[in-house]
Amino acid sequence: MTASSRQLSPQPIAPSSERADVGGDQAAQNQVPPLTGYNLFLSDRTLVQAIEREGAGWAREQITELGRLLSTEEAQRWGFEANENEPVLHTHDRFGNRRDEVVFHPAWHNLMRTSVANRLHSLPWESGRSGAHVARAALMMLTAQNEAGHTCPISMTFSAIAALRAEPELAAEWEPRILSAVYDPRFAPAQEKSGVLLGMGMTEKQGGSDVRANTTRAERIGSSREYLITGHKWFCSAPMCDAFLILAQAPQGLSCFLLPRWTPDGKRNAFHIQRLKDKMGNRSNASSEVEFAQAWAHAVGEEGRGVQTIIEMVNHTRLDCAIASAGLMRQALAQAVHHARHRAAFGKLLIDQPLMRNVLADLAIESEAATLLMVRLAHAFDHRGTDERERAFCRIATAIAKYWLCKRSPMHVGEALECLGGNGYVEESIMPRLYREAPLYSIWEGSGNVMCLDVLRALTKEPATVEALLAELQLTAGADKRLDAFVESIGNRLTAAASDKYAARNLTEKLALALQSSLMLRYSSPAMAEAFIGSRLAAQHGQAFGTLTEEVDVKDVLSGVVELLAVSA
Ligand SMILES: Cc1cc2nc3c(=O)[nH]c(=O)nc-3n(C[C@H](O)[C@H](O)[C@H](O)COP(=O)(O)OP(=O)(O)OC[C@H]3O[C@@H](n4cnc5c(N)ncnc54)[C@H](O)[C@@H]3O)c2cc1C
């Protein structure tokens, strides 16, 4: 059976008074009501406190409204429908002419419209307000909980501006269209549209991490900044974007270009979509293989400095990988806790079974630590333009957070899925969708090893990152002896470890745990911080979730999640 023929979306929810009567011969007993109609934002105390603390309180109303909307039955249905009804590629029209269009289900457009209207693709670039990255991170984290697939073009559009500014004239032409809050899905020249989206093309068949291996060629047209591009991209997500930042080999070396779907004189550009990828997850989003047959493009930045130019875009998408991973963990936790609050086994609600409490508390700790780390990173993005230390911190924390949160989320979501028992393995529960999405964030925009090697690169080539990292950890010096000892041991090894590629994962993990411990000491309840440090730093923990020791105050750790979900669900 193909995914598109399955019916995964939740059925309309009957009022509880009617629900007992449905179910044919036997009414369903001991089943859990759907987790719907709660506020994704207000039920997340960590996030609520974070936006106030980090100067994004001005966006409270908008974030609250999006949190409400995304948990409505209607918006939840968009997520299911956009994944059940996958995008369809039309390579040619009926006369044999190239068409190169992907057609999406209306649910996809509803999701896109909502995200664009909420300025997830643009907020920090246009608002100029302090805390705009944190505000956007909160909006993005909520959105990823509802449907993560469509955030791919949203994230790429947001990130592209950072690189596009290397070519001021081009940026001046494109930015007003990009910053528009109107979602305009028409396949038409950008100058005729009221809003546009951008994608990215770096990965080729022979290499994704090592883009120096790119073979796509760029030939300059006369002495202009215009080029003709010939070659391919092996992964090109969201091919219905209006333009792409791509890498290609120019005479001076690998260079960055803006390649639109339509040429400036209003003709279809030679951008040919070969086929769509049949992916494990992320099925609402079209990811394609494309070929360029002398496609028109405009240079972005200096010829030969393509990687340095596009890395600004990549860094912003890495931030989004960390945000979305924190979102997936939060949604998985909410689903697991909700289920355990309503489902009984062996004479008790699951939430009252000691071992289930251990699992849920462990998941709650991990989720909170993930949220704090991604908010801290978003804060660094907010201040890196004006504060040197934040710039250096941002440089290294992006790689650390991208690696660690994306590594933790598949395991976290997998464990949360099991809390729902067999129902967690069934599509209607949303858990399989979260589970399939989770590993993707670790693969794209720099997969695990690449991120850890990037941490080493930052430590060796940019000494300011070491200082910024240690200064951050110093903020909680003396607050916990175990953390002090942990930080001291990493600090002592930092210079030697920075050249040890074999141990790069080990070092990056330790840096992530130290950062998360420090953040939890500052912003979490004492019980939560104690549980995190005791389990993650002091080795009082097994390899799986649910192995907290008796010292952990599980009641306190779980209280925030349970109470707030209970109030709002
Ligand atoms: C759904 C999806 C959508 C995508 N969309 C896009 C897109 O829109 N645009 C785009 O450009 N790309 C896109 N990608 C491609 C993605 O960014 C690449 O797959 C990724 O960068 C890895 O490149 P690769 O697949 O060539 O693997 P490789 O580069 O061959 O890497 C394979 C493995 O080797 C590891 N590795 C690489 N170098 C080293 C090293 N020096 N030391 C140790 N280990 C190493 C990597 O971490 C990885 O685990 C997409 C991928 C997916 C799955």
DSSP string, 59-97: GHHHHHHHHHHHTSHHHHHHHHHHHHS--EEEEE-TTS-
Q: What residues contact residue 296 under an 8 Å CB cut-off, 6+ apart? A: 226, 227, 228, 229, 259, 260, 263, 264, 269, 270
Using alpha carbons, select from 12, 34, 22, 46 the residue that is nearest to residue 516: 46
In this predicted structure, the answer to whether residue 7 has a pLDDT above a threshold of 60 is no
Q: How far is the CA of 464 from the centre of ligand 1 (A)?
A: 28
pLDDT band of 3, cuts 50, 70, 90: very low
Tokens matching residue 89: 């590629």
Q: How far is the CA of 305 from the centre of ligand 1 (A)?
A: 21
The predicted-structure confidence for 267-291, as pLDDT tens digits, reads as follows: 999 999 999 999 999 999 999 999 9
Tokens matching residue 452: 């850890």
Residue length of the chain: 569
Q: How far is CA 352 from the centre of its chain?
A: 33
Q: Is the distance from CB of 433 to CB of 83 less than 8 angstroms?
A: yes
What pLDDT is stored for residue 204 in this prediction? 98
What pLDDT is stored for residue 1 in this prediction? 37
In this predicted structure, the answer to whether residue 474 has a pLDDT above a threshold of 90 is yes
pLDDT band of 568, cuts 50, 70, 90: low
Average confidence (pLDDT) over 72-85:
98
Tokens matching residue 503: 């141990």
Write out residues with Cβ below 6 Å of ligand 1.
199-203, 207-210, 235-237, 279, 282, 287, 440, 443-444, 447-450, 453
Residue with tokens 């990965």: 203
Tokens matching residue 336: 């697991």
Residue nearest to atom 26 of ligand 1 (CA): 208
Residue nearest to atom 37 of ligand 1 (CA): 209
Share of the chain above pLDDT 90, in %: 89
Give the up-direction half-sphere exposure of residue 391: CA atoms within 13 A in the CB hemisphere: 9
Using alpha carbons, select from 246, 247, 245, 249 the residue that is nearest to residue 217: 249
Q: How far is the CA of 437 from the centre of ligand 1 (A)?
A: 16
Q: How far is the CA of 321 from the centre of ligand 1 (A)?
A: 14
DSSP 262: B
**Residue 316 burial (CB count, 10 A):** 22
In this predicted structure, the answer to whether residue 194 has a pLDDT above a threshold of 90 is yes
- The number of the ligand 1 atom at minimal distance from the alpha carbon of 450 is 47
Q: How far is the CA of 15 from the centre of ligand 1 (A)?
A: 47
What pLDDT is stored for residue 14 in this prediction? 46
Testing ligand 1's pocket by substitution, the residue of 232, 445, 447 carrying the most ligand atoms inside 8 A of its CB is 447
Residue with tokens 């039920």: 43
Average confidence (pLDDT) over 337-361:
96
- The number of the ligand 1 atom at minimal distance from the alpha carbon of 204 is 26
Tokens matching residue 362: 């462990």
pLDDT band of 257, cuts 50, 70, 90: very high
Q: How far is CA 479 from the centre of its chain?
A: 32
What pLDDT is stored for residue 540 in this prediction? 78
How far apart (Å, rounded) are the C-alpha atoms in residues 286 and 420?
Answer: 30
- The number of the ligand 1 atom at minimal distance from the alpha carbon of 446 is 21
Choice among 109-113, 245-249, 552-556 with the minimum mean pLDDT: 552-556
The predicted-structure confidence for 410-469, as pLDDT tens digits, reads as follows: 999 999 999 999 999 999 999 999 999 999 999 999 999 999 999 999 999 999 999 999
In this predicted structure, the answer to whether residue 13 has a pLDDT above a threshold of 60 is no
How far apart (Å, rounded) are the C-alpha atoms in residues 235 and 504?
Answer: 27
Q: How far is the CA of 289 from the centre of ligand 1 (A)?
A: 14
What pLDDT is stored for residue 24 in this prediction? 61
What pLDDT is stored for residue 493 in this prediction? 81
The predicted-structure confidence for 27-49, as pLDDT tens digits, reads as follows: 899 999 999 999 999 999 999 99
Tokens matching residue 455: 């941490």
Q: How far is CA 245 from the centre of its chain?
A: 19
Residue with tokens 């664009």: 116
**Residue 186 burial (CB count, 10 A):** 11
Q: Is the distance from CB of 44 to CB of 60 less than 8 angstroms?
A: no
How far apart (Å, rounded) are the C-alpha atoms in residues 47 and 53?
Answer: 10
How far apart (Å, rounded) are the C-alpha atoms in residues 502 and 181?
Answer: 46
What pLDDT is stored for residue 15 in this prediction? 44
- 175-178's contacts with Cβ under 8 Å and 24+ in sequence apart are 175/125, 177/242, 178/121, 178/122
Would you call 259 helix, strand, or coil by DSSP?
strand
What pLDDT is stored for residue 567 in this prediction? 59
- The number of the ligand 1 atom at minimal distance from the alpha carbon of 448 is 47
Testing ligand 1's pocket by substitution, the residue of 197, 278, 450, 452 carrying the most ligand atoms inside 8 A of its CB is 450
pLDDT band of 16, cuts 50, 70, 90: very low
Choice among 7-21, 23-37, 230-244, 545-559 with the minimum mean pLDDT: 7-21
Testing ligand 1's pocket by substitution, the residue of 444, 445, 454, 506 carrying the most ligand atoms inside 8 A of its CB is 444
Strands 271-276 and 226-237: unpaired
Average pLDDT, the chain: 94
How far apart (Å, rounded) are the C-alpha atoms in residues 191 and 242?
Answer: 10
pLDDT band of 566, cuts 50, 70, 90: low
Q: Is the distance from CB of 545 to CB of 361 less than 8 angstroms?
A: no
In this predicted structure, the answer to whether residue 369 has a pLDDT above a threshold of 50 is yes
Using alpha carbons, select from 245, 243, 251 the residue that is nearest to residue 218: 251
- The number of the ligand 1 atom at minimal distance from the alpha carbon of 210 is 29
pLDDT band of 561, cuts 50, 70, 90: confident
How far apart (Å, rounded) are the C-alpha atoms in residues 234 and 206?
Answer: 9
- The number of the ligand 1 atom at minimal distance from the alpha carbon of 443 is 20
What pLDDT is stored for residue 23 in this prediction? 53
Its pTM stands at 0.95
The predicted-structure confidence for 112-153, as pLDDT tens digits, reads as follows: 999 999 999 999 998 779 999 999 999 999 999 999 999 999
What pLDDT is stored for residue 551 in this prediction? 84
Q: How far is the CA of 279 from the centre of ligand 1 (A)?
A: 14
DSSP 567: H
Tokens matching residue 290: 């494309």
Q: What residues contact residue 294 under an 8 Å CB cut-off, 6+ apart? A: 228, 229, 230, 270
Average confidence (pLDDT) over 226-232:
98
The predicted-structure confidence for 524-545, as pLDDT tens digits, reads as follows: 999 999 999 999 998 778 999 9
Residue ranges of E strands in 251-336: 253-260, 271-276, 287-300
Element (H, E) at 198: strand 198-201
Q: Which residues sit opposite 287 in a β-bridge?
A: 237
Would you call 34 helix, strand, or coil by DSSP?
coil
Using alpha carbons, select from 103, 46, 111 the residue that is nearest to residue 74: 111
Would you call 33 helix, strand, or coil by DSSP?
coil
How far apart (Å, rounded) are the C-alpha atoms in residues 45 and 523?
Answer: 11
- The number of the ligand 1 atom at minimal distance from the alpha carbon of 449 is 47
Residue nearest to atom 29 of ligand 1 (CA): 209
